[in-house]
């Protein structure tokens, strides 16, 4: 069996480019969001230490989460977004976070990833596990050349995810973001290029060799 046929068996995708695929990792199922995920999304989105670190306000109710999910589903394979994946923890089938692929630029083959995870599941390496799988899909199946990612200056945890995925820092947008308390944060901007991925220069690719 060739490595490409293994990829095809693992990823249930291909027959319909208007949908997101289902991707599998050791501990996660990375799949399209469903309105049935609203309770699970609310379980992490009401917390003060989740959304604000990613630039959005905590949800006030499950209805908020439902509205967000509907909006996210509408951002699937549009001119400017590839879509938002749900991260389902295999062990208990809970939806514990998301990875969004936004700012899709079809001309220059680039997009930006953003992510959140339920705090009960932090510090287990789950986001690196999920994001590296999505990165592979974006290069191998979506044909991207460039994947971008950014974090606020105070977000050490996200910085570490970005570094472990192999993004290279390209610059700092000084005081770009106004936070909920009115203060401003610097935005640290990174990218991975397809050549770096194909040449197996990323830390998670080197480890496997």
**CA 23/CA 6 separation, integer angstroms:** 12
Q: How far is CA 193 from CA 58, 106, 139, 140, 149, in A?
A: 33, 15, 9, 12, 12
Q: Site residues for ligand COA, window 22-61 (CB under 6 A)? A: 50, 53-54
Q: Site residues for ligand COA, window 156-195 (CB under 6 A)? A: 157-158, 160-161
Confirm if 57 and 51 have CB atoms less than 8 A apart.
Answer: yes
**CA 61/CA 42 separation, integer angstroms:** 7
In a 10 Å sphere around its CB, with 0-12 CB exposed, 13-18 middle and 19+ buried, how is residue 208 labelled? exposed
Residue 79 vs 181, nearer CB to ligand COA: 181
E-only strand ranges, 137-208: 146-152, 168-178, 184-193
CB 60 to ligand COA: min, Å: 18
Of the listed pieces 32-40, 105-113, 138-146, 149-157, which binds ligand COA according to CB under 6 A?
149-157
Question: Residues 141, 155, 189, 201: which binds ligand COA (CB under 6 A)?
Answer: 155
CB 181 to ligand COA: min, Å: 17
Q: Is 69 in the site for ligand COA (CB under 6 A)?
A: no
Residue 7 vs 29, nearer CB to ligand COA: 29
**CA 147/CA 25 separation, integer angstroms:** 20
Q: Is 151 in the site for ligand COA (CB under 6 A)?
A: yes
Question: Residues 71, 125, 175, 198: which binds ligand COA (CB under 6 A)?
Answer: 125
Beta strand pairing call for 110-117 and 146-152: parallel
Number of amino acids touching ligand COA (CB under 6 A): 19
CB 57 to ligand COA: min, Å: 13
E-only strand ranges, 28-141: 28-32, 83-89, 95-105, 110-117
Q: Is 113 in the site for ligand COA (CB under 6 A)?
A: no
Provide the binding-site residues for ligand COA, judged by CB under 6 A.
50, 53-54, 115-117, 122-128, 151, 155, 157-158, 160-161
């Amino acid at each position: 069996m060739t490595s490409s046929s293994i990829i095809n068996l693992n990823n249930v995708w291909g027959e319909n480019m208007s949908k997101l695929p289902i991707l599998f990792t050791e501990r996660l199922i990375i799949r399209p969001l469903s309105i049935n995920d609203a309770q699970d999304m609310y379980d992490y989105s009401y917390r003060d230490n989740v959304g604000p670190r990613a630039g959005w306000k905590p949800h006030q109710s499950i209805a908020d989460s439902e509205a967000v999910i509907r909006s996210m589903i509408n951002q699937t394979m549009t001119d400017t977004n590839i879509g938002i994946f749900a991260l389902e923890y295999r062990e208990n089938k809970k939806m514990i976070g998301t990875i969004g692929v936004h700012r899709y630029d079809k001309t220059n083959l680039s997009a930006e990833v953003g992510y959140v995870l339920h705090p009960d599941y932090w510090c287990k390496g789950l986001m690196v596990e999920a994001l590296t799988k999505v990165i592979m899909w974006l290069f191998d199946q979506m044909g991207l050349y460039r994947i971008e990612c950014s974090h606020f200056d105070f977000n050490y945890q996200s910085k570490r995810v970005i570094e472990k995925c192999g993004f290279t820092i390209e610059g700092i947008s000084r005081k770009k973001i106004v936070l909920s308390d009115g203060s401003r944060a610097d935005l640290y901007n990174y990218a991975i290029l397809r050549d770096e991925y194909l040449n197996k220069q990323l830390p998670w690719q080197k480890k496997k060799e």
